[in-house]
Each structure stands twice: as structure tokens, then as C-alpha cells.
Amino acid sequence: MAWRPFHAVLRRLLDAWVELRHCDPAPETLALDPERPVRYVLPHRALSDRLLLENLCRRHGLPLDAPPGTSAILSLPEARRRRWRRHSSSPLTALTEDLAAADPQLVPVSIFWGRAPDKRFGLWKLLAADSWALTGRLRRLLSVVVNGRSVEVVFGAPLRLGELHDPARPELTSRKAGRLLRVHFRRVRTRVLGPDLSHRRTLIDSVVASPEVRRAIEEAAAAQERSRTRLTRRAQRYGREIASNMSYPVLRFFDQLLKRLWTRLYDGVEVTGMATVKALAGDHTLVYVPCHRSHIDYLLLSYVLYRQGLMPPHIAAGRNLDMPIVGPLLRRGGAFFMRRSFRDNRLYAAVFDAYLHRLLARGHALEYFIEGGRSRSGRQLAPRHGMLAMTLRSQARLIQEQRRPRPLAFVPVYIGYERVMENASYRRELAGEKKRKESPLALLRTLKRLREPFGRVTVACGEPLILDHWLDAQCPEWRQAIPQGRPTWLGQTLPALGQALSRRINAAARLNASNLVALAMLATPQRVIETPRLEHQLRLLARLGRARPGESLAPPEGTPGDWIDHAERLGLIRRRPQALGELVVADADQAAQLGWYRNNVLHGFALPGLVAFAFRNTPRHDAAGLAQRLSPIWPLLVRELAITAPEDLTAAITEQLGQLTALGLLETVDAGWQRPRALPDQAALDQLGALVEPFLARGFLLLTVLLRQPSGRATAEALADQGRQLAERLALLSGLPAPEFFDASLFAALLEGLEAEGWVWRDNDRVHYGATLQEAARHAQELFDPALRQRLMLLAEVGEDNDGPEAS
């Protein structure tokens, strides 16, 4: 009783000093039963935690009632005290004894005064943050003073004590509750603090001393006739070049810096899907695989995770970012650096593989981009398999070594920008200009753009892929012993895994104003449209996105008029007053920018666009006939745009026909559908079909070039290059300001898709085809109207006459 006035004073001091940086979930969202008493449980005794929790409960109206002589806030006994105080009863035992009178609900509460992994930080180790080590009274006092402005509170789901009660053995109830609570607190600490970090030098030494690196040193010494001591020093140098040096003070610095940067740069950061990630973080090793659209990606994702109460991951970054000033900061923020290619350097590959294996073995979260580099076109690039292969090998090794590793979960992340900072450089590089090297000076030049509007940015976590379960279904033999070379199952598994992750990234996409306006504007012939028609088309696109089965592309808040205003503020379009009504115009430079934002979400409108395009030349279809006509084209579109394909194409097309009919873009007739009679509806249908026209035109040009010569005459490289040249010529003749339309990688990917579908095959580097491809090409030609088909065929003839794909 004598302490109550003193506690009241301390409580008021804490209330004035402490600032909650993060509270998960919001206290008012706790699913508490108002008919049952509530007891809050802390992981250990700490007066500061208790008083802080009391303030938080009072501020949010959470119940704090308790019978006289008891408290609504309990704490678990510490392990070292449980051994020598067995005669004393714990708070949970007292609750169990009174279970008949009241069945309380226990709410576990974790409080972090700052947070850091357990690593030597000098003075910061004394003052700064919660870690895996328990704190003493002096350190707790200093932590409250230093970290009062950076406190995180995590509420757990309420636990009903009565549900654990066993009438036959009532004495076990408190032990069951204590065990469940301790498991919960351990998972929360793992999620927030991450695994313990070793000293960087110690980690590098362990990597160099690993069997795989020692083996690589022996092989290099024999092949290069160099001393093992010299090669060992080189391996240590590689380790220092690669390894991160995550530092909690730098994480705190980045948190404050990036908070101000995002406030100045963006109108807001929208985060979705984080609840699923938090549920996995406590007992899974997480590997974040975001799409790569900008240099901002890795800074943004780490910031979001830190703000959401998750430990930031170790990030695989290109060595080009390891530049003066910036590189050391990124390294201390969790980046580890890798060379673009190290296939011919077996020692470097062994060091990098061993380093990655140790990070995964210790349960550290990782982040890498499966696309390899930033997407200059805005679409999801074909996955590269290097990091995925090392991750799969590491997980298989851990199971082989019988370490019982934590399950590994890939977390796909979609990052959507309303305006990306690298727009200008992307257009230059797509047009053929060489990529400029990153430098601190170039970074300083971008600072002057901070006053420009960049809109909002979205970070959306998709459906996680649990690796063990996925591999068991795809390739059960993966758990067998791994040879020193490449496992046979890896070659067939990696492409499927890369495609699955790409599809899950795209499935998490969210629409924004830039995406919608880009989809509508680039579907107009001259990139000019009346404002009412543009609003109507935006409304149709929003409804189609919302109606997507299973993977809804929810539109942003606001009306089509709001989206047009926002796109104009971002400089993507401009309005032009005219006597008969206002027009919305995109000039050549703006249209090139809009292409990037259209490609971000084009995958979500591919099937309705393809169905709409089929009605351009043939005004009437039935579902079965339309599915037969589109079935050769659809797999290629699925592959290029990383689409999650429906199991039954005919059923999916029937559903799309119904949606287009409900929107007034088609009319039912007899046993099928036909083009609408109203001219505005016909124009809207043609605009929707224009979304897939660039893909179909590229495919038509490539097939025409291929089929105009005997099977086995041309090489794949010559075909892709000839297709690119024809597409570039078509873009110039039609005034299409879209360098990504004739991107050489798209033609190479299209050939790979034809090969994957079995329509072409390679023999001695020559491309062969049969009757199946000829039949598919005939179906594809029927989709085009005669004028467009004749123009494409004439263009292909010109290309063949001037520069055909020779066999050499």
C-alpha cells in the first residue's frame, strides 16, 4: 500500500515520457469476452512494463478490474527462480485454484524498449535496447530513459484458462498455461528481434573454415598451382566483400531517415497482407522475394518490416551498390553484396554459398530479387535461378544433416508505385542507351527531385510458399542425400519454383490511379480521349479488376474523376480544353511513361482483353469455339505475364463473357455472344482488346518470320533479333512511343514459351517446327482484322527481303 503513491508518480512520468512507436494489434481490436475477467501476462517481472501496460489499458479503455489483494497484470516467474522457489505458488497457480469462481482469459503482452539483435554494440549494448539477454534494474532504467520514444507493444490472442483445465489432473492446468505462454513469448521475440547475430569476423572465419570452402581452396590450389595460404586469404577477402554487418544503431538511423524521406517523397505507404507474415515469423525462416521495380524497393521493404514489428532481413544487393559512403551504410543496414556473375570463380561461389547457408541455418530472414535486376519495362521479368538454387540446396543440406531446420517460407511481395523515380533512365535504357554506373554523385543529383510529386506507394505481401510442402508435392526425392555436384532434381524444380513465385508476386498486385489511367489511355489510337469516355473506361476497368476470381485487383479509393486529377498532378497526362468538350491527352513522353505503369498490372486484364480482342474481327462467338481459338495463344500469354492460369480455360472464358455482358460490352444471342450494337460500347470493347494487341502483334511477327522458311533453317538468336527489328519498325511507322514493345528479351521469352509448349524444338542450335505450330498460327491470324493482318504480313515480307534470319 505504501508504494501506491510512488507508483502513481512513476506512472504519470512514464505517460509523459513514453511514446509508442508500434502497437500490434490495436488494443481496441482485441477479441475480449466482456463476460469474463481479463488477466494480462508479461514474460518477466519489470515495474516499467507493468506501469506502461496500466497506462495503455486506461488510455484505450481495456479492463483492469481484479479482486482485492490481486492484480490484473501478472508475470511469469523467471527460469532461475523456478528452481529454488518451488515452494512458492505462481500467479497462474492461484488463478487455477479459483477457476470454479471465474474462468479468466489470459492476454500475453510483450513490451520492447527499443530492440536489437544480441550483438556487441559498445555503449549501445549497455543503454539501448531489448535483446535476448535479460536486463537488470540499472540497465532497465537506462533503457527507459534512452528508448522511451521507441517502445513497441505486442498483444497476443486471449487464452481461456478453462479450456486447458483437466478435471482429472487439475494441478497440470497452470503448467500447461505457462508452457503455452512461454512458447508464445519466445516466438514473438524471435519475430521482433530475429535470431542472435554472431560477430561478423567470427562468421567470416567460420565460412572460410567450412568443408565446402576448404574443398574449393584445395581444388584451386591444384588447378592454379598457388599456395593454400594465399587462397585462404583470398577466401577471407571474399567473405569481407560479401558479408553484411547489421548494426542496430544504423537500423534506428535508417528508421528515422526513411520516415522523413517517405513523408516528403510519397503521399503515403499502404501496407497489406502483413498479418500472414507475422503469423509465420515466429517459427519459420522467411525469404522475402519482392518484385524489383526501383532502387527504393529494398529500403522501403526493410522500413515497412521494421515499422510492423518484424526484424529487417539480410538483403542480397549487387556489388555495384557497394560504393563509398553508401555501401558501408547499406552493409550495416543488412545488405550483403554479390557479384553479378561468379560462374567462373569457384572459390568465390563456394564462399558465397557457405555464407548464405549459415544465414539460413541460423534462421535469419533474407531478401533477394528473383528477377535479378530492376524491370525497365514495368512487367515481371523472367526469374533467374541462382539465389533460388542456393536456397534449395541449403535447406536440403540442413535436412540431410538432421538439424531439423525451421520450415522455410518464401514471402512474395508486390511493390506498386504511382510514379517511379527512375522513369527517365528506364526509357533511355530501353531505347538502347547503356546503363549508367551508380555513384554517390548520381545519388546526390536525385535529391533535387524530392520536391516532385510521387503519389502513394503500395507494399502488398502475397500468399507465402512453404518450401518443404511445395517440394514434397513437386519432387519427393529432394530429401535424399545431396551429391557434391548439382542434384538431378534441382534442374526440373527451379523453373517451376521461379514461375510459382512470379505468379504469386503478380497475384498480390494492387491497382492505383497511374495503372488505371495508363491502361485506358494507351488503348486509344492516338492517346487522346474525351474526359467522359475516359471516366467511363476507368469505371469499367475498376469493375473488371474487382471481379477477378480469387485474385481481386481492388481499385484505389475515389472516383474516376479523382484518378484523372491525380494522374495529371503526377505529370502523366494533361487536359486540353476544347469547344466541344474537354480532352485528355498524353504526349509521346507521357505515353512512354504510362507504358511502365500499364505493364505493372497488365496480367490482371489479360484474359478479358484477349476475349474482347477476339470480337474485333469476328463479331459472334460461342464459349467452346472461342476457347478452342484462344487455347494456343493463352499459355504463351500466361508465361510472359506470370499469370495464375485457371484450371479450366473454357469455364474461365465463359465467366469473362458473362462479366463483359453485365458491363454492356457484349450481347447474348442464341447460344453465344456478339459485339454490342451501340457505338460507345463497341469503342469500349475495342479499347479493352487493345490491351493485348502488342503481345499478339509481336507473336504474329515472330511466327510469320519463322514459318516463311523451312524448319531448322534459322537460329533462335537470329529469329529473336529479326522479330525485334520488325517490331521496332512497326513502332516507328505507327508512331508508337514504347521502346519496351520491341525489347529483345520479350522475343527471346516468346521463343522459350513456344519451346515449352512443344510447338518448336532446338537441334544443333536451330529452331524446328511442325504442323502443330502451323495450325496454331492459322488460329492466331484469324483474330486480327484483315487490315492489321495485311500490314503485319507486308512488314514481315520487307524484313525478310532486307535482312532475313540467316543460318549462320
DSSP per position, 644-712? ---S-HHHHHHHHHHHHHHTTS-EEETTEEE--SSHHHHHHHHHHHTTSHHHHHHHHHHHHHHHTS-TT
pLDDT at position 763 over 70: yes
pLDDT at position 401 is: 76
Range of the domain at 325: 212-507
pLDDT one-digit tens code per residue, 782-803: 777 777 677 777 766 665 555 5
Which 3 state secondary structure label does DSSP give 644? coil
Q: Region 246-258: what's the mean pLDDT? A: 80
pLDDT at position 337 is: 93
**Residue 572 forms part of a structural domain:** yes
Residues 216 and 139 in one domain: no
Extended beta strands in 695-799, E state:
760-763, 766-769
**Residue 660 forms part of a structural domain:** yes
**Residue 570 forms part of a structural domain:** yes
pLDDT at position 85 is: 45
pLDDT at position 704 over 60: yes
Which 3 state secondary structure label does DSSP give 768? strand
pLDDT one-digit tens code per residue, 626-664: 998 898 889 889 998 999 988 899 999 999 999 999 999
Q: Region 334-358: what's the mean pLDDT? A: 90
Last residue of a domain, one of 689, 717, 748: 689
Kindly state the percentage of the chain with pLDDT values over 70: 87
What mean pLDDT is reported for the chain? 84
Q: Return the higher-pLDDT residue of 108 and 136.
A: 108
**Residue 201 forms part of a structural domain:** no
pLDDT one-digit tens code per residue, 740-749: 677 777 888 8
Number of domains in the chain: 4
Asked if residue 641 lies in contact with residue 500, where contact means CB atoms within 8 angstroms, the answer is no
pLDDT at position 728 over 90: no
**Residue 199 forms part of a structural domain:** no
pLDDT at position 82 is: 45
Tell me how far apart the terminal alpha carbons of the chain are, to the nearest angstrom.
95
Which distant-in-sequence residues (6+ apart) come within 8 Å of 96 by Cβ? Answer: 161, 165, 170, 173, 174, 177
Q: Region 131-144: what's the mean pLDDT? A: 63
Residues 9 and 120 in one domain: yes
**Dihedral sign for Cα atoms in the order 764, 770, 773, 774:** positive
- Phi, psi torsion values for 20, nearest 5 degrees: -75, 120
Q: Band the pLDDT of 777: cuts 50, 70, 90.
A: confident
pLDDT at position 126 is: 40
DSSP secondary structure code for residue 766 in this structure: E
pLDDT at position 460 is: 95
Last residue of a domain, one of 475, 507, 539: 507
| Residues β-bridged to residue 335 | 315
Residues 252 and 358 in one domain: yes
pLDDT at position 128 is: 45
Q: Return the higher-pLDDT residue of 379 and 98.
A: 379
Q: Band the pLDDT of 582: cuts 50, 70, 90.
A: very high
pLDDT at position 741 is: 72
pLDDT at position 753 over 60: yes
pLDDT at position 270 is: 93
Q: Region 545-553: what's the mean pLDDT? A: 78
Read off the pTM: 0.85
DSSP secondary structure code for residue 549 in this structure: S
Last residue of a domain, one of 480, 507, 534: 507
We report the CATH number of the domain holding residue 246 as: 3.40.1130
Residues 677 and 734 in one domain: no
Asked if residue 352 lies in contact with residue 338, where contact means CB atoms within 8 angstroms, the answer is yes
Residues 532 and 493 in one domain: no
pLDDT at position 120 is: 40
What's the CA angle centered on 401, arms 400 and 406, to 5 degrees? 85
**Dihedral sign for Cα atoms in the order 166, 169, 172, 173:** positive
Residues 340 and 256 in one domain: yes
CA nearest to 445, candidates 415, 416, 425 = 425
pLDDT one-digit tens code per residue, 82-110: 443 444 456 777 776 665 557 788 899 99
- Whole-number Å distance between alpha carbons of 375 and 293: 5
| Residues β-bridged to residue 367 | 288, 315
Q: Band the pLDDT of 435: cuts 50, 70, 90.
A: confident
Residues 174 and 219 in one domain: no
**Residue 808 forms part of a structural domain:** no
Q: In this predicted structure, which of 42-46, 76-80, 690-694 has the lowest mean pLDDT?
A: 76-80
pLDDT at position 122 is: 43
pLDDT one-digit tens code per residue, 503-519: 999 999 999 999 999 99
**Amino acid (one-letter) located at 209:** A
pLDDT at position 88 is: 45
Residues 520 and 548 in one domain: yes
Residues 249 and 395 in one domain: yes
Residues 665 and 714 in one domain: no
Residues 633 and 682 in one domain: yes
pLDDT at position 189 over 90: no
Q: Region 526-541: what's the mean pLDDT? A: 94
**Amino acid (one-letter) located at 541:** L
pLDDT one-digit tens code per residue, 588-619: 889 989 999 999 999 999 999 999 999 988 88
**Residue 593 forms part of a structural domain:** yes
Residues 596 and 613 in one domain: yes
pLDDT at position 75 is: 87
Q: Region 275-300: what's the mean pLDDT? A: 92
**Residue 51 forms part of a structural domain:** yes
